[in-house]
Structure 1
Amino acid sequence: MDFKISCEINASARAIYNAWLNSEEHAAMTGGDANISQNIGGEFSAWDEYISGVNLELIQNEYIKQRWRTVDFLDNQEDSILEIKLISINEHKTILELHHSQLLDADFHYKQGWVDNYFEPMQSYFEKNKK
Structure 2
Amino acid sequence: MLESVVLEEWFPVEPAAVYRAWLDSRAHSAFTGGEAVIEARVGGAFTAWDAYILGRTLSLDPPRRIVQAWRTTEFPDSAADSRLDLAFSASAGGTRLILRHTEIPEGQGISYAQGWIEHYFEPMQAYFGRRR
TM-score bucket of the superposed structures, by smaller chain: over 0.9
Query: Counterpart of 1:44?
Result: 46
TM-score by length of structure 1 reads: 0.94
Kindly state the Cα deviation for residue 105 of structure 1 after the two structures are TM-superposed. Answer: 2.3
Q: Please say if residues 75 and 105 of structure 2, whose CA atoms lie closer than 8 Å, have aligned partners that are also in contact.
A: no
Query: Counterpart of 2:96?
Result: 95
Q: Which amino acid aligns with 2:27?
A: E
Kindly state the Cα deviation for residue 104 of structure 1 after the two structures are TM-superposed. Answer: 1.9
Query: Counterpart of 2:129?
Result: 127
Residue identity over aligned pairs, in percent, reads 39
- The yes-or-no answer on 1:84 pairing with 2:94 is no
Alpha-carbon distance in structure 1 between the residues aligned to 2:123 and 2:113: 15
Query: Counterpart of 2:107?
Result: 106
Select 2:55's aligned residue among 53, 66, 69: 53
Alpha-carbon distance in structure 2 between the residues aligned to 1:83 and 1:28: 21
Kindly state the Cα deviation for residue 93 of structure 1 after the two structures are TM-superposed. Answer: 0.6
Q: How many residues align?
A: 128
1:45-100: per-residue Cα shift (whole Å, max 9, x none)? 0001000000000001100000000011111111000000001115x410110000
- The yes-or-no answer on 1:27 pairing with 2:29 is yes
C-alpha RMSD of matched pairs (Å): 1.3
Structure 1 segments, 4+ long, off by >4 Å, are none
TM-score by length of structure 2 reads: 0.93
